[in-house]
Structure 1
Amino acid sequence: MNSERAHTGRRRNEEARRAVLDAALRLLADADGAAVSVDAIAKEAGVGKQTLYRWWPSKGAVLLDALTERAETDVPVPAAGALRDDLRAVVAATFAGAQRSPVAPALRTLVREAAHDPHLADLMREFTGARRAALREVLERGRERGELPRDSDIDLMVDQVYGVFWYRFLLGHAPLGEVEAVRLADSLIRQVS
């Protein structure tokens, strides 16, 4: 990208914001484990470094914002249907969304960086907490409709989904496709029925 944008002042300019978030994901995807600097993000986005610091408290906050926005787009929370269909849709979208470029390499880089950066680790917990809350919402709606027993351990069900996801995503020992998503969703429902 690298084309300098006009000064945007104190207010967020949506075009510049989008450029920063896209640049952050692209750079993370290409970083192959190396740290991504604020300078690099600003240069790639065509904005001044001060723009990033004015709009985000840290580099980690930029990265979190980029991943959160992408996750909300790639994994919307279904609001209709039956629990089985909604759960299958969320798990399948989670698995698929996290494997697309630039999200997959960006997410792997962030996990590596978070192991050495306590602030980034806190931001990763915030990101994963938001994703857990979205899945929890689907399960709670199913429980309210009587599709899950009242005493279902929703947190354990969420842990099972994300436990499988992170284990397979980080180690790559088994697939994370739609077939696996459907099998996992169905298995969760059978466990509590």
Structure 2
Amino acid sequence: MHHERPHTGRRRNEATRQAILDAALRLLGESEGASVTVDAIARAAGVGKQTVYRWWPSKGAVLLDTLTERSALQVPTPDSGSVRTDLLTIVEATFRSAQDPLTAPALRTLVRESAHDPHLADLLRTFTARRRDAIHAVLARGRERGEIAADADLNLMVDEFYGVFWYRFILGHAPLDDGVAARLTDSILARH
């Protein structure tokens, strides 16, 4: 008589997947810019390398998935009824998330490696597109309520935010703090 192995179920698979994501983020935070390999991620998560590749095609894809999950938790998409309040909430949360000692190295690694990995570059574009869509939605609601001019270029407003964010994040020449978040929010809204 043939006995099928009991199905391990989604819970166990999800726990393993989460262990891999947590290990990748932790290793990046500890690496101080050094390369983190899939082997190292698998060892830290207590799984085989093939388990990592079952869910992700590359190390960069693991890191991006980690950041995507973290950004969903750390960068809200509010709808308070005030475009300034909602935009400021997102800008502050984005700035704080980028300062996180675990998130910052992962994000810098993704940006660096996406320059040499077309697949990762596509994944990073998808990640940033989701964040752009969230801000665009906040601005569109503000326009619908009359808080932003009907002819305002919402895509340009989103670019103004991300232009400052990426420039300061990558070059590190100036802070990304709550004071800057408030001034940037007011500057974006004042011209539109």
What is the TM-score normalised by the length of structure 2?
0.89
Aligned residue pair count: 186
> Could you list the per-position Cα deviations for residues 53-86 of structure 1 after superposition, in whole angstroms to 9, with x for gaps in the alignment?
2222333222111000101111011122300100
Counterparts of residues 104-143 of structure 1 (less than 5 Å): 104-143=104-143
Task: Give the Cα–Cα distance (whole angstroms) in 2 for the partners of residues 119 and 36 of structure 1.
Answer: 18
Q: Which residue of 2 aligns with 1:89?
A: 89
Give how far 1:21 is off: 0.8
- Structure 1 CA distance for aligned equivalents of residues 27 and 52 of structure 2: 15
Provide the rounded CA distance (Å) in 2 between the counterparts of 1:182 and 1:10: 43
Query: Which whole-Å CA distance do the structure 2 matches of 1:105 and 1:67 have between them?
Result: 11
Q: Structure 1: give runs of 5+ residues left out of the alignment.
A: 1-6
Q: Contact between 1:32 and 1:109, CA under 8 Å: does it hold in 2? A: no
Aligned-residue Cα RMSD (Å) equals: 1.9
Structure 2 CA distance for aligned equivalents of residues 75 and 130 of structure 1:
11
| Counterpart amino acid of residue 88 in structure 2 | R
Amino acid at match of 1:157: M
How far apart, CA to CA, are the structure 1 residues paired with 2:135 and 2:102? 23
State the SS of the aligned residue for 2:34: coil
Find the aligned partners of 2:12 and 2:142 in 1 and give their Cα distance: 39
Give the whole-Å Cα distance in 1 for the aligned partners of 2:189 and 2:46: 48
TM-score by length of 1: 0.89
In structure 1, the residue corresponding to 2:191 is in which secondary structure?
helix
Q: Percent identity?
A: 66
Q: Cα offset for 1:19?
A: 0.8
Q: 1:186 to 1:10 in 2, by over 3 A?
A: closer
The within-5 A match list for 1:172-191 is 172-191=172-191
Deviation at 1:36, TM superposition (A): 2.3
Relative to structure 1, the CA distance from residue 51 to residue 177 in structure 2 (aligned partners, 3 Å threshold; closer, same or farther) is same
Alpha-carbon distance in 2 for matches of 1:9, 1:37: 28
Query: Which range is displaced more, 47-56 or 30-39?
Result: 30-39
Please tell me whether Structure 1 or Structure 2 has the larger radius of gyration of its CA atoms. Answer: 2
